[in-house]
Amino acid sequence: MFKVLVSDPISEDGIRALLDSDQVQVDQKTDLSPEALKETIPEYDGLIVRSQTKVTKEILECATKLKVIGRAGVGVDTIDLEAATEHGVIVVNAPNGNTISTCEHTFAMLMASARNIPQAHKTLTEGNWDRKTYKGVELKGKTLGIVGMGRIGTEVSKRAKAFQMNVIGYDPFLTEERASQIGIQKGDLDKIYENADFITVHTPLIKETHHLINKSAFQKMKKGVRIVNCARGGIIDETALLEAIDEGIVARAALDVFEEEPPTDNPLVGKPEVIVTPHLGASTSEAQLYVAEDVSQEILNILSDQPFQNAVNMPAVNDETRKILEPYYLLSEKLGEMMIQLAKQPPRHIKISYAGTLTDFNTELVTRTFVKGLLSHYLGEKVNIVNATHLAKQYGLSYSVENTTASLGYSGLISVTLTTDEGEYSAAGTLFDGLGPRIVHVNQYTIDIAPTDRLLYIQHTDVPGIIGHVGSLLGKHEINIATMQVGRKQVGGQAIMMLTIDKALSEEVLGELLQVDHIHSAKNIDL
Ligand SMILES: NC(=O)C1=CN([C@@H]2O[C@H](COP(=O)(O)OP(=O)(O)OC[C@H]3O[C@@H](n4cnc5c(N)ncnc54)[C@H](O)[C@@H]3O)[C@@H](O)[C@H]2O)C=CC1
Ligand SMILES: O=C(O)CCC(=O)C(=O)O
């Protein structure tokens, strides 16, 4: 039975799939302090949060069983992603469920700022009938600048078009073609600042977007611009915004989000030119239902080892690709385990080449599985496909991946080279129809062996009688040989022998083997 903790208020109907599952016990504890969360988190396999719970490094360090964090929303800036990845915890979000609600809230803020609705409401409820102060502006014919043309930005642009606004969008991924499909102009920040009567931001809060709208940006804007932020506090520099309002550059600001939430002593809150809402963009019944349904389903999928879509620290693989690649996961993991045991020094670099049909797919998970196999031999269960490449980096182990045409006649081939300070180790594997994974090259010798539990790897000179010696020595020690493969590059030259055996050789037996003339090394390989 898996245990999932819901630590923020989430739609109960939305988590129905989890509540009804007989594989999962759900605990809803929405008033935990960070200390209390640290104490309780070790019990849980899954955690569902909105933006209230801050999933910090310290909490993740205590989360010894945690496999997945579900963010019922888009922004994952309240989760320490690096720490989650390091601890092998998959983070999934619900990127689509609150798009419309947030877009509609943005539009409500835009219109409220055009017509001074909250300010007018306030004066009237205070007993004043003031029609002069609150003269507004029309949207029709005005220019709206949208910074961030992702899901929400795009929906905002559609609604702005319906209001007959001119829209200029800026996004590093916005092409001319897409802009013209949506019916907007593609611009850059300067074009937006120069032309926009309204500006709305819809980017994530990341290093590049922190204080994206700053003092110098405000200096370039049209006098009387109205600005909306329903994305994240911190995209707009609040100090610079305050100055720009005081200087008369910004006529109105409408903010749903703040650098500090809830805002304390924030001079923007209460300023007559500023409309504020307490991070309500996604607060509709519909959005809360959708995001809770989406993360619940993802959590169920992850806990039951089914495909999932919205991991932010893992690549998504569709069902069809997964079916094709799944057998290669086992092969690549075994290759990784084998190669780390073959290497005599710590690896510095891994080069993975994919050939044949594998080049048609996103093989990132195959790569991660290889790295997992390689690391887990020494690091054990703490390594998984979420943190494998991250951990590799921590150990100074770099990797590169390439697609090649050198499939050597196999339908799909994975070739790997490990570089160490004292040389390279290589291996390649494929899938044989009906036979499953096979290792077909080791250190440039051609062989054909299934990566089963226990292998014996021998390097020797190609002379008559070696196979007999090995066979009788293992027989003497009652070690059964299941299969044996010999690979050589030329007659009488260096050769390798790989055996599938039923039990590992003790140090003594390995020692005896090394006494045999022409045997240079022998090694148990545990897979
Ligand atoms: N107020 C609220 O309650 C809610 C806020 N949000 C926030 O809204 C924001 C946008 O959400 P979505 O549209 O779903 O995300 P999205 O990922 O679909 O779109 C974000 C876009 O920003 C673009 N971008 C990144 N850096 C940029 C830069 N420097 N300049 C211009 N564009 C840049 C990206 O290319 C991407 O297209 C996020 O920060 C999210 O957390 C989302 C839902 C609710
Ligand atoms: O959970 C919420 O209401 C916040 C939503 C949000 O900001 C997001 O999805 O990024």
3-state secondary structure 473-527: HHHHCCCCEEEEEEEECCCCCEEEEEEEECCCCCHHHHHHHHHCCCEEEEEEEEC
pLDDT for 480 equals 94
Per-residue confidence (pLDDT) for residue 234, from 0 to 100: 97
Q: Residue 143's beta-bridge partner residues? A: 166
Cα 104 to averaged position of ligand 1 atoms, centre (Å): 15
Distance CA 279, CA 251 (A): 22
Is the confidence at residue 478, as pLDDT, over 90?
Answer: yes
The average pLDDT across 214-243 equals 98
Those residues with Cβ within 8 angstroms of residue 521's Cβ, 6 or more apart along the chain or in another chain: 457, 458, 459, 514
The mean of the pLDDT values for the chain is 95
Q: How far apart are CA 16 and CA 293, in angstroms?
A: 8
- The residue whose C-alpha atom lies closest to atom 7 belonging to ligand 2 is 75
DSSP 8-state class, residue 40: H
pLDDT bracket for residue 308 (50, 70, 90): confident
CA of 255 to the centre of ligand 1 (A): 15
**pLDDT at residue 315 in the model:** 82
Tell which residue, 353, 398, 342, 411, has the closest CA to residue 371.
Answer: 398
- Closest ligand to the CA of 150: 1
Structure tokens at 201: 């931001």
Of 342, 322, 330, give the one whose Cα is nearest residue 372.
Answer: 330
Dist. CA 144–CA 165, nearest whole Å: 7
Instruction: Write out pLDDT tens, residues 331-352.
Output: 999 999 999 999 988 899 999 9
Please give the distance, rounded to the nearest whole angstrom, from the Cα atom of residue 307 to the centre of ligand 1: 25
Per the CB < 8 A criterion, the answer to whether 284 and 106 are in contact is no
* Atom from ligand 1 closest to the CA of residue 170: 31
pLDDT at 252: 98
For 264-277, what is the mean pLDDT? 97
Q: Is the CB of 204 under 6 A from ligand 2?
A: no
Is there a cis peptide before residue 172, judged by omega within 30 degrees of 0? Answer: no
Long-range contacts made by residues 386-389, C-beta under 8 angstroms, separation at least 24? 386/84, 386/85, 386/88, 386/89, 386/90, 386/313, 386/314, 387/85, 387/86, 387/87, 387/88
Task: Tell how far the Cα of 98 is from the centroid of ligand 1, in angstroms.
Answer: 12
Integer Cα distance of 93 and 84 in angstroms: 14
The residue whose CB lies within 8 Å of the most ligand 1 atoms, and thus the one to mutate among 77, 202, 228, is: 202
Above 90 in pLDDT, residue 11?
yes
75 pocket-lining for ligand 2 (C-beta < 6 Å): yes
Residue 98 pLDDT grade (very low, low, confident, very high; cuts 50, 70, 90): very high
- Which residues share a beta bridge with 354? 403, 414
Task: Provide the ipTM.
Answer: 0.99
Q: How far is the CA of 514 from the centre of ligand 1 (A)?
A: 63
Taking each continuous run of H as one helix and of E as one strand, the counts in the chain are: 17, 22
Pocket of ligand 1 (CB under 6 A): 73-75, 95, 98-99, 102, 147-153, 170-173, 202-205, 208-209, 212, 230-232, 256-257, 279, 281-282
Which of ligand 1's atoms lies nearest the C-alpha of 209? 29
The model's pLDDT over 138-175, given as tens digits with 9 standing for 90+, comes to 999 999 999 999 999 999 999 999 999 999 999 988 88
* Residue 212 CA, closest ligand 1 atom number: 29
Identify the residue whose C-alpha is closest to ligand 2 atom 1: 50
Instruction: Tell me the pLDDT tens digit for each residue of 368-424.
Output: 999 999 999 888 878 889 899 988 988 889 999 999 998 999 999 999 999 998 899
With beta carbons less than 8 A apart as the criterion, state whether 486 and 470 touch: no
Residue 306 pLDDT greater than 90, yes or no: no
Q: Which atom of ligand 1 is nearest to the CA of 281?
A: 3
Q: Quick check: 97 pLDDT over 90?
A: yes
Residue pair 490/481 in contact (Cβ under 8 Å)? The answer is: no
The closest alpha carbon to 182, from 212, 207, 156, belongs to 156
Residue having the nearest C-alpha atom to atom 7 of ligand 1: 231
Instruction: Report CA(83)–ligand 2 centroid distance (Å).
Output: 21
The residues annotated as belonging to the active site are 232, 261, 279
Checking if the pLDDT of 486 tops 90, the result is yes
CA distance 157 to 502: 66
- pLDDT at residue number 344: 87
Q: Is 90 exceeded by the pLDDT of residue 66?
A: yes
Ligand 2 pocket, residue 50 CB under 6 Å: yes
CA dihedral 208, 214, 215, 218 (to 10 degrees): 120
Is the separation of the CB atoms in 426 and 125 below 8 Å? no
Q: Is the CB of 51 under 6 A from ligand 2?
A: yes
> Global pTM?
0.81
52: Cβ below 6 Å to ligand 2? no
